Structure 1
Amino acid sequence: MPQTFPVTAAVELAVVERSGFIESRHSGSAVVLGPDGIVQASLGDPAAPILPRSTLKPLQALACLTAGAPLDGERLGLATASHTGTDRHVAVVRAILEEAGVTEDDLGCPPAWPTDPATRMELARDHAAPARVRMNCSGKHAAMLLACRANGWDLAGYLDPAHPLQLHIREVVERLTGEKPVTIAVDGCGAPVPAVSLTGLARALHRMGGSSERSPFALHRNAAVLIGAVRAHPWTIDGPGRPDTVVLERTGVFAKTGAEGVLVMVAPDATTVAVKVLDGSSRAASAVGLRLLERAGAVSAADAAKAVGDLSLDVHGGGAVVGAIRPTV
């Protein structure tokens, strides 16, 4: 059975400190690529396969773009997002669906409540029900439907691994990671998710983050447009006060978090970090990524500290701050 690295191959990445006592530890693997794409630091076993989960979304959105989906600006940001389901996010997703000539019922992702607390409470007060368009992956799914419409591909089966869209996505993934997936799993939203190494994932995002809109290659031109769209509209990638949006707004670092403790970050100079927290928790991942970028000289200590300060990493006791979640790398 394909599997990720074992506990014995992991290293400590972060701790939870309460009243001076180390209460919990997060271990995992990480890799840092310099601006030239060469490995600068390797922790744990970044060569082992992982499921990239939502950190794959930049590659999936890029594949939709190269397949002819007319996406730009906020719409391209939402295609890349794990959004919090606010009305602002949903309005953009609905615009993509309208462009594709489809409805919310055509989305293959499951119905969900928004993860934004204020929006969820407002919908509950209105006796609303979970909706596909509120699911955090709805932007990606809307972009997939738009790509299918642009090519005349079947809409109903767009999540089948053998569908032309998914085959195209896999081709883009293999080209950018430089790897053949060891297996194809089903993501939480129903989309195929290939297992690749953490180093391969970092390589793919480094290639995207280091791309230029003046590149002679369409794939790299589109990658530069995508990264630029998210940087221009940081609210799209996550949501107000959420880690990926906070990191981008405070440091200019492109950040994409995935389920089960996976994270990728690309600094403006293309220094790239990929992290997998083995226990599946994402609470320390952004702080670990920022610490590794700081150590690599890609982010200043002041900017990293400012971002970490806005990531809600304090540990509380009796209504007071008594500790913090902090990276140990």
Structure 2
Amino acid sequence: MWEDIGDRNHGNLFLLLKSNVTMYYSDRHGIERPQISFEMIKRRIYGLFKKFERKGYFQGAFGYDCVDNGVVYGDKEMTFKEYLDIELNLQIDFSKMDDFLSLDEGNLFNLIEFFYINISKPTDSYYHNFGDCGLHVHESDYDEGRTEFQTELNKILPYYEKEIFLNSDGHIENVDVDLRERISTASVGQSNFFTFIPSVFDKPVEDPDENLVSVMMPFSMEFNQVHLTIKEACSESSIICKRVDDMWENSILIQDIFKLIYISSIVICDFTNKNPNVFYEAGIAHTLGKFVIPITQNMEHIPFDLRHHRCVTYLPNGEGLGELKTKLIERINFLKRKL
């Protein structure tokens, strides 16, 4: 039988998962932040550039001027302006905001990618006091600098009217609205979405399949009849059913599990016996916005964090599995109409 354990909550958040975006009032209460104009984008990026410049984040690549030693070159063996001219054919005075504000979209985005390539976090530096010469960087870390720059920039770009972001390769990309809607089956018709930059999983090449149900459950003989019942329910609902042991495409099992959840439209999770793997897999499914059907033989096996979801309980005997099959067919057919 179905037990009412609450309704789901959906937030109106645009999150880049590696951005460390501060959760302000509007974010916590599901109020969408307004989009910002191209003019404002340029002003904010200029401020971000000046912040990193003051902290010496471009000295690893381009060096610095010293009152004692003159021009001290960095890894590029050119000054910032010289290298920018060669790479992008841009002549711009970064001491003047008006020059920066004159950039068109193509040159601005080229410049952002140029910043990403050449930025590095100082790891060994000192302040030269004589003549107020300034900060001198001797050693720096490009990976750390790029990560920090990407994080800060992606607090700005997603709110641009064209919905863009800087990916981990240092490229400006558009948020693919169609793709994010296909991935998230549980928010059809809504504008709420996540943009993922996965660090553990590889993004599957395949798009989600509206006719695929995946099953997350313990692997033991006592669940064989349960698995068979789920497959029968899917078959009678004219939808494909797969469990991770039906595929072997990656050397790492969890990548196959992630792919199966990613390409599914519905995920059935059996929480019987409090299997930790199933909890982990349910978390992935919820995060990807999938329709999740929780089932269990005992409501006591549902942890507190999941008890606000509705769950179908069943007994592992002939009559109980027959009722489970009926309930699954009913639920699957209902969810199919929302796909």
Q: Smaller-chain TM-score range? A: under 0.3
Superposition TM-score, scaled by structure 1 size: 0.25
Larger radius of gyration: 2
State the TM-score, normalizing by the size of structure 2: 0.25
Higher RCO (CA < 8 A, seq sep 6+)? 1
